Chain A
Amino acid sequence: MGAFLEVSNLHAAYGLTRVLHGISFAMQEGTITTLLGANGAGKTTTLRALCAMVTTQGEIRFAGQRIDKRATEDIVRLGIAHVPDGRGTFVNLSTEENLRLGAYVRRDRDHIEADLERVYGYFPRLRERRAQQAGTLSGGEQQMLAVSRALMLRPKLMLLDEPSFGLAPLIVKELFGILRTVNEKEHVSMLVVEQNAAMALDLADHAYVIETGRVVLSGTAAEIKRDDNVRRSYLGY
């Protein structure tokens, strides 16, 4: 049996501009893995490739099945929830409507209400603003909303694209804490793309460093955190 998520020799391009040059990595079930690297390294493109939002060559396997030739809407139905960069909030709909949309593909209507309660439990501020138009929420609240919307899918795998972007460090800590909890209690695997390497390495179990569309380094988060050379050369701190 192969890994939970397996990416083999993935190439991706925007028009004529190649961004991924044969990226390969794998994830075990139940873990949090982080993809690190500088701006433009191809981290966001990797996540988008997983959801078939860019054209790719190469193989992507999820729970043993190939998903690289499928449509985004079908990949979602396999249990992969993507929290995109920029959050992808439906700004003209209410907070609660955004959350309900997260559960759009689910058949078990009765459990959705329970999940809604659970999500409000993680993020009480969302409950306060449940009827409010989502576009009027603050940056931090919209990030919580985006994560919650993904949780409403009851995903097996969550893809998070720069969840710390534009947020105050305290809020990032709070958010990452909740992500840890969700991972442990609900066994949701997570693939987190981050520029904030320090906080990402605290959250994750494993890490890959990407540079110009290729994996240049991999290891457990602890190893990479300990290695001063790596930190200075690739992660800038």
Chain B
Amino acid sequence: MDALLHQVLAGLATGGIYASLALALVMIYQATHLVNFAQGELAMFATYFAWSLINAGVPYWPAFFLTVIFAFVLGVVIERVIIRPVENAPVLAVVVVFIALLVILNSVTGWIYSYTIKTFPSPFPAEPIFGKYMSAHEAGAIGVTLVVLLLLFAFFRFTPLGLAMRAAAQNPDSARLVGIRVGWMLALGWGLAAAIGGVAGMMVAPIVYLDPNMMGGVLLYAFAAALVGGIDNPGGAVLGGFMVGVLENVLGAFVIGNELKLAVALVLIIGVLVVKPSGFFGKVFVTRV
């Protein structure tokens, strides 16, 4: 029973990270109907930036916020410069560009920082709290995730800019007719998604250690979470993230063994895509002939 509780709580912690990344994926999908295959590498790159700052002596939280800003700007620039030219191109062209982005970010990171694994600090104390059920970092990660999600929700729900972004994503033509610069809304969306990814990366790095390939598995879980929740449903993505985190941990500890944990993501992805592509909470899309 103890062990189960421990796995569930740890699962919630990683689930929060998946939820953040899944939210970033859904945000971009809602606005562009594109799946950002490079989301993980963006997050990883931002985390390395944080590592550089911390290594240079910058205290953790200032480094954290500077990284969030850095990631935001990077996301905006990538959207305007690399993604915009292929926004309306055939699917294969877009996928190729995303893969190129993934590959470039991964290799540039390896080139600048080398491929040796590094440790990434956690801002939370090392002693476990809540007894043996959860480390302070895990609790902290959940906390940070919730704060980020709350801030985002408030932004989209209560600010004019958030409203404009929602409008631009749902109906670009009408959005233009009320004066919204739809192109910049997309760039903003990418910036936010990249920033969220950066936060996710900084939360996961203390657990999985910093290396250019660290986000590969995490991205897969995030995809699974986004699909389970409905790829156009932000709330669903968040719920999906926590669900996938708990499921992965519980199955891994008690049913299939730790090695096959990634297979859980694979099965979820293919299962949802084949059985219920709109996810458990999403809407069905019909394409016109």
Contact = CB atoms under 8 A, between A and B. Distances in A.
Q: Do A and B interact directly, with beta carbons closer than 8 Å? A: yes
Contact of B176 (A73, A90, A153): A73
Given A100-B160, A104-B160, A72 B176 contact: yes
A82 B179 contact: no
A88 B160 contact: no
B184 to A, nearest CB: 9
B142 to A, nearest CB: 30
B177 A76 contact: yes
Contacts of B261: none
Contacts of A91: 170-171
B181 interface: yes
A93 B178 contact: no
Interface secondary structure of B, over-half rule: helix
B97 interface: no
Contact of B177 (A82, A92, A100): A82
B179 A76 contact: yes
- Chain B: interface residue count, which band? 10 to 19
Interface in B48-75: none
Given A90-B170, A90-B171, A93-B170, A104 B177 contact: no
B163 A93 contact: yes
A87 B177 CA distance: 11
A65 B205 CA distance: 56
A93 B169 CA distance: 12
Contacts of A97: 163
A145 to B, nearest CB: 12
B174 A104 contact: no
Given A53-B173, A92-B166, A100-B163, 7 more contacts: A72-B177, A73-B182, A76-B179, A91-B170, A101-B178, A102-B178, A105-B178
8 contacts: A51-B177, A76-B179, A82-B177, A84-B174, A88-B173, A93-B166, A102-B178, A153-B179
